Amino acid sequence: MFFDPMYLLFLLPALILAGWAQIKVQTTYSKYSRVRAQSGLTGAQAAREILDDQGLHDVAVQEVPGSLTDHYDPRTRTLSLSSDVYNSRSVAALGIAAHEAGHAVQHAKRYAPLALRSALVPAASLGSNLAWGLFILGMFLQMAAMVYVAIACFALAVLFSLVTLPVEFNASRRALAMLKESGVIYTYEVPQAKAVLNAAALTYVAAALMAIMQLLYFLFRSGLLGRRSDD
């Protein structure tokens, strides 16, 4: 199957949002990474303090290489912070560290969307990897069953992207509340940390929109959405 201009047309809104979100993240993070938090805590110290306040003394905080590679692993109960966040005393670093701590709290409190997202990881990863190959082969061989399997596989990836949204939004809300409650940042610094987390959230919205538009393209080309094209 050769390049289809319709594919670009379907993805254009998502591509525009993704580009804008990336710029927003870079500019906002750059701005507030230069603003030192009044508490003087590093990202690692802030994460540790928040986790301890929540009774999560067994959750480890470690430094990992890379930029914005921060994440929480529920399998090992480990909160990993990139070097820029781990060692920084900026408002941006504290906001990101608190966000990851928010995921640890979600895990401890058995937050349902997080459990669902974790359960979807293997299927979503496999589905996204198989979908395109099956779809192209199915369309080439005119095997409707294979095309439908491809769509079902990719739908799992879309579901994963959609479930990710409430997980990330909730982690940010928890982060801002915990930052204030623990005294890690001062009240006037909260809007600054919120700006960083809101910018990061845009990337997840863009990813979800990208997945949805790709699924709609599959449905369109398979004839399940609108009329089947003659080309």
Query: 1 pLDDT exceeds 50?
Result: no
Beta-carbon contacts of 27 under 8 Å, excluding residues fewer than 6 positions away, are 199
Per-residue confidence (pLDDT) for residue 228, from 0 to 100: 47
Per-residue confidence (pLDDT) for residue 6, from 0 to 100: 87
Task: Measure the CA–CA gap between 151 and 158, rounded to whole angstroms.
Answer: 10
pLDDT in tens, 62-101: 999 988 899 999 999 999 999 999 999 999 999 999 999 9
Cβ–Cβ < 8 Å for 65, 83: yes
27 by Cβ neighbours in 10 Å (0-12 / 13-18 / 19+) ranks as exposed
**Mean pLDDT across 134-141:** 92
Concerning whether 168 is annotated as a catalytic residue, the answer is no
Query: 227 pLDDT exceeds 70?
Result: no
Per-residue confidence (pLDDT) for residue 230, from 0 to 100: 46
Task: Measure the CA–CA gap between 157 and 123, rounded to whole angstroms.
Answer: 8
**Mean pLDDT across 137-164:** 94
pLDDT in tens, 166-209: 999 999 999 999 999 999 999 999 999 999 999 999 999 999 99
Task: Measure the CA–CA gap between 178 and 185, rounded to whole angstroms.
Answer: 10
Helix (H, G, I), strand (E, B) or coil at 72: strand
Query: 148 pLDDT exceeds 60?
Result: yes
User: How many other C-beta atoms lie within 10 A of the C-beta of residue 64?
Assistant: 14
The catalytic residue among 49, 63, 100, 181 is 100
Tokens read off for 95: 């906001």
pTM of the model: 0.89
Cβ–Cβ < 8 Å for 170, 106: yes
Pairing of strands 78-82, 60-64: parallel
